[in-house]
A and B are shown apart, each in its own frame.
Chain A
């Protein structure tokens, strides 16, 4: 049987080249052809060897002791930020250096202007403010939106709304820039231990009266005494008028804007009071991260401009 098919193949190939077998037989009669490799394949194989040798010469390839061959003719050359010409063997890090320098050079006209201009000047100039706005929008999405939300509306109770015109730490360009540069820590102690639950109830009643809610007169009067007296000592941070102080980011309690107590979404006075009591009992300790280590001065400047614009600023 095997000899049959063997002779058939030989026959069909004609007499040009008789196919050899490898010479050994398995299981008595199974043999293996030993066809020569196609010529194109053999040459392709030699070509890869030649390619490898050329590659060794041109690119980093061979380790030598604690160093390695760097290759010839594959230098990357660019002018760095300080104007120095740098030549190094090609590598992805140097390519990045080169691309960053080039990108900066393309934006240089605008970046220099932004670096030199005050935020007020940026806001006044259409070209500058358009460029600053488009850059800041991306920065805000990458760095700020996770807390302050896209658009800056914030999360009541956790992250302040930047798109309204109410500022804990001041809404001038300078204030906002300081906030972003150094971060902020909004701190109010917990009064759970210091005040009885009736007293917390009274002082919450008073807090709601500050923002023109219709409250119980007797309770409000008792609450006022606690707020402005030694017992609560709220006035120390929130002022006697309850308007808060920018220097310590203590919220203005007289406007109808709430950053921690979710008063607006509660329907009844009781529910609103519960929200306020929650803040008084638990206290506050929330942190705005420091950005001066992550972002450049110019980036912070245009973010301040962007945030200022979101909220209308002051």
Chain B
């Protein structure tokens, strides 16, 4: 093809420029899908410890994104000493393998939240999200008072899970898929990955834990706190030898 043909035809130019630029991206990204070390093996006794989110946590995560929490909070502890001392073990690729999209981020107006799960009580999260300055005087985090007052919408939870299933999250719809999940994650986890039971499971989890301190209804606060309380808690690092995760790089 003559140079002149490309330079005189804008559509051709755009297509060819796009192809040339993609080469760099493809060469860097595609092999990662095939290399064994990309996502760490975090099985304990043959059971995968990192699991997809429960229905309630899925809704909590949606609210996290809706409210733009990621604009101020990262979820990615980098392998540096200062971060290890403050936040705990560095984040693993395996820990966000069911996140679509991931919430790694790079903006830290507030602290990293990758391991905030179980650090505080539910009550603290409720107080803090409603009015951050009631517990942390110098905080610049906005108030989110409507979370406590807004009933959670969850009629469409099964649809949301099916959408996530389409991008590879192993929620189960058929008996065979359920059985596969039992093998992979154990029975307790497999139960709430069942799309057919999504609504019941969501209500059961909200009722059993009563995250927002109010039993009478399920609010957006219930969902968001359920999500925050599970962040970074799935891998029990005491079960792995020191340096084990360094062999994956």
Contact = CB atoms under 8 A, between A and B. Distances in A.
B34 interface: yes
Given A88-B246, A142-B86, A289-B120, A96 B35 contact: no
Dominant SS at the A interface?
A: mixed
Interface stretch (A39-47, A60-68, A117-125, A205-213): A60-68
Contact of A81 (B80, B88, B124, B242): B242
Contacts of A290: 118
A286 B34 contact: no
Interface residues of B, number: 36
A66 to B, nearest CB: 5
Interface in A97-132: 97, 99-100, 103
Interface string B121-149: 11110011000001111000000000000
Contacts of B245: 93
Interface residues of A, number: 37
A143 B119 contact: yes
Interface string B100-128: 00000000000000000011111110011
A253 interface: no
B121 A63 contact: no
A194 B120 CA distance: 32
Contacts of A270: none
Nearest to A94: B246
A24 interface: yes
Contacts of A81: 242
A146 interface: yes
Interface in A40-82: 63, 65-68, 80-82
Nearest to A185: B121
A158 interface: yes
A169 to B, nearest CB: 16
A16 interface: no
Contacts of A294: 88, 118-119
